[in-house]
Copies of this chain bind each other. A is one copy, B any other.
Amino acid sequence: MHNPIELQKIIEEAIGEIAYPVRPANLYEPIKYIMSLGGKRIRPVMVLMATELFTDEVSIALDVALAIETFHNFTLVHDDIMDNAPLRRGKQTVHEKWGVNNAILSGDVMMVESNKHLSKVDSSVLKPVLDTFNQTAQGVCEGQQLDMEFETRDDVSIEEYIDMIRLKTAVLLGGAMKLGAIVAGADEKNAELLYQFGENLGVAFQLQDDILDVYGDPEKFGKQVGGDIISNKKTFLHLTAKQLIKPNETDVLLGNHDTAEQKVAAVTALYDSYGIRELSNAKMEQYLTKAYQALADLDVYESRKTYLRELTKQIMERES
C-alpha cells in the first residue's frame, strides 16, 4: 500500500508520461498546460486508494485515475470560461492564454482523452466503469448548470444548494472512489459504500470551502477571503443567514456597501451574530460523519483503511 504522498507522486509521473498528439499544437498545448498546473490530485489519488483497499496492484487503476483527473481538468477549463475567471491556481486560465474558442475545443478534446484512458481498463470491468464514469460526468455537468442558474435566482433553498454542490463537486469524489473499487473487482455493496464515502466527503469538502472563504486565514487561503460575500454567492452560510436574519438586516446581507471590505466586514459580523460559522461546521460534520460511517461499514480489513482516513483528515484540515 502507498500513502497519499506516494500515490500523488505516482499520479504526477503518470500524467507526465501521457503522450498527447503534437499537432495541432494549439489544441494539445492547453491540455498539457492545465494538467501540469498541479493541485493536490485528490480525485485520482482517491481512485488509487479505493483500489488499494482491495488489491496491491495499484497499476490496474491508473488509467481510470488519469481519466478522472483529465475530466476534472476539462471541467476547470470550461467552468473558467463560464465564470470569466482570469486565474487558475495563480496562473492564467486557458481561455485567457489561448482564447475562448480554443479553450472550448481543447476542453472538448480533453473529454475524448478521458474516454481514451477509460477504454484501456480490463474488458471484464469496462462496462461498469463506463456506466459509473458517464453517470458521474453527467452529474457534474448538471451541478455546473444549477450553479449558474442559482446566480440569477433569489429563491434558492438550502436543500437545493446542497444538491447543487453534491452534483458539482461531490459526485466526482464518489465516482472516483467507486471506479477504484470496480477496477479492483470489489463487490457491489463495497463499491456503493465507497461511493457514499466519496460523495459525503465531497459535500463536507465544499461546505468547508464555503466556511474557509469567509473565515480562512488570509495568509494561508489561496483566494481573496470574503470573495463569496462580495459576489453575493448563495452559499450555505448565505442561505442559512438569510433564513435567520430580521427583515431590517436584509440590507446588510443583500444591499450595497461603500466598499468590498466594508461589505465583507458587515456580513461577517452578521454571520457571527447568528452563529453561522458553527451552524455550517455542524452541517459539515454531519456529512463527514456519514462519510466515516460508510468507511466503517466497508467490508475490508481495518488496517487497509488507514491511509484513506489519513487523506480525509488532510482534506478536511486544509486551510486553503
Contacts and interface: CB of A to CB of B under 8 A. Distances in A.
B130 A112 contact: no
A144 B112 contact: no
Contacts of A6: none
Given A127-B123, A130-B115, A142-B27, A82 B104 contact: yes
Interface stretch (A145-153, A232-240, A281-289): A145-153
Contact of A102 (B81, B109, B146, B148): B148
Interface in A127-183: 127, 130-131, 134, 137-138, 141-142, 144-146, 148-149
How many protomers of this protein does the assembly include? 2
Contacts of A82: 101, 104-105
A60 interface: no
Interface string A101-117: 11011011101110110
A26 interface: yes
A130 B123 CA distance: 12
A198 to B, nearest CB: 19
Nearest to A103: B104
A43 interface: no
Nearest to A108: B141
Interface string A90-107: 000000000001101101
Interface string A1-45: 000000000000000000001011011000000000000000000
A71 to B, nearest CB: 10
A119 interface: yes
Contacts of A141: 27, 105, 108-109, 112
A134 B116 contact: yes
A78 interface: yes
A148 B109 contact: no
Contacts of A101: 81-82, 148
A24 B108 contact: no
Point out which of A102, A113, A118, A141 has the most chain B C-beta atoms below 10 A from its C-beta.
A141
A104 B104 contact: yes
Contacts of A104: 78, 81-82, 104
A119 B127 contact: yes
Interface of A: 21, 23-24, 26-27, 78, 81-82, 101-102, 104-105, 107-109, 111-113, 115-116, 118-119, 123, 126-127, 130-131, 134, 137-138, 141-142, 144-146, 148-149
